[in-house]
Structure 1
């Protein structure tokens, strides 16, 4: 098969936050499969060596996804270079730990800006192209925290819960247009999210027994997480390759994610069952 024919058959991925962790692992996996990638990051130069070995299949673009004008320019550059975008992966993010009272307005808004608003901005920028082609897959890298919660992760959970809510509505809106949405919910993976990508807020003594324990746990787990980013990337690429009828909406990754999600669903179901009589009793009384 000629290189031109091969490029026509391969997909083009657009990955944000591609410089490290799951983003980088996904770029490497996609290239290994013969697809093409637009890898975006604030410091894309860290991928220069990978680009040199990619035989023209990797385009690096500097991008701060919280700046809409840069998102617009990056998507335009990607389309100009490869002519199409088949898979958008919204992966850029960071972790933040602090009780709700400890987390100031600036930190909370920065969290929502990057992991919710910027994701929607990037998605909206790609959607017209996917609509015109009648195909495409949007991969939202959420977290087990998109459904479950823990003390100290209020800001992070809020952003991921919001992302999952809008993505579920989005999936229903774009399905008739030939566009698919996949929400990925990783548990603890061995990336920098517990290290250099972790943001801490000043601690208050009052929350030592709850958030303080989470701070200790994060320090102990850094570099020891059970999840392998390379295997996660492989799983994502495998699921994206499925036909539409076999594509789930949610993809949990890691045994801890499965356990936490099942526990959260059971918690919700228990409350619904326990309060069902009260809930149903709020209807208007039937007219005689």
Structure 2
């Protein structure tokens, strides 16, 4: 197994922390970023120059560009970019403030977009690499009371899926990770709730108010999920999606089947809106040469 250099956002907790620990243990180099680098001091003391750390808030585009450029300059080659930083905003759309909405989109959607945009020129220059995007089954399915979280994850999945096609000619693979429930601290420390409106009491949207309950069960082993993400880099070509957890698999499969059934039922009605005589593509006009 070849040793690699990884760049990971949100390395202080969750899958980012677990991946960082596992990678360092096996001898890889890690550029570990977090909003508070003090959370990485124990790893820096243990692994020395094997770990490179930098303070990074993914809502700060200028800082993203600066940190990514510095990491490539000092480490020379980075094989894998991992967009892990993110959190969940839950509650009915009407309950959310403008500030909550903007921060959720800035963190979960715009941040990964800017990390990719900052890293791609370097990856192209070194003739390849991998980009791994942490998403969730909620990037392909929905639950009530999570509209903005789903908006951020559906958005980032569309962005990454399109980039998988755009970047393949340069030897850059893209993988979207679809975890199910895992005891990473996401529910308790990685989720936010607005001030509830009484109008939603007893409605499906109110179900999200219990997301921070530490007693909620989990299906996946977080360490196994981190290991599966790391192992995915050994697969060529890069898998577009990596589903982890039987709950995630079941939820995604059900959602896709329901969506496909809804679309297939409209085959005839969709065709009914076609032009009676399809138009022919217009031929470009040749420029007239001057006499």
Task: Tell me whether the two structures share a fold, i.e. TM-score over 0.5.
Answer: yes
Counterpart-to-counterpart distance in 1, 2:46 and 2:119:
27
Counterpart-to-counterpart distance in 1, 2:46 and 2:216:
28
- CA RMSD, aligned part only? 1.6
Q: Please name the residue that 1:278 is paired with.
A: 269
- Counterpart secondary structure, 2:93: coil
Aligned ranges for residues 1-288 of structure 1 at < 5 Å? Answer: 10-208=3-201, 209-216=203-210, 218-220=211-213, 224-244=217-237, 247-286=238-277
Paired residues in the alignment total 277
Asked whether the equivalents of residues 82 and 134 of structure 2 are also in contact (C-alpha less than 8 Å), the reply is yes
Counterpart-to-counterpart distance in 1, 2:257 and 2:194:
32
Q: TM-score, normalised by structure 1?
A: 0.92
Asked whether the equivalents of residues 69 and 118 of structure 2 are also in contact (C-alpha less than 8 Å), the reply is no
Gaps of 5+ in 2: 279-291
Q: Please name the residue that 2:288 is paired with.
A: none
Counterpart-to-counterpart distance in 1, 2:33 and 2:128:
22
Q: TM-score, normalised by structure 2?
A: 0.91
Gaps of 5+ in 1: 1-5
**How far apart are residue 243 of structure 1 and its match?**
2.3
Q: Deviations over 1:119-149 (max 9, x none)?
A: 1111111101100111100001111111111
- Choose 1 or 2 for highest CA Rg: 2
Counterpart-to-counterpart distance in 1, 2:263 and 2:184:
36
- Counterpart secondary structure, 2:17: helix
Q: Please name the residue that 2:282 is paired with.
A: none
Asked whether the equivalents of residues 37 and 58 of structure 1 are also in contact (C-alpha less than 8 Å), the reply is yes
User: Segments of 4+ in structure 1 off by > 3 A?
Assistant: 219-224
Name the CA shift for 1:179/1:222 in 2 (closer, same or farther; >3 Å). farther
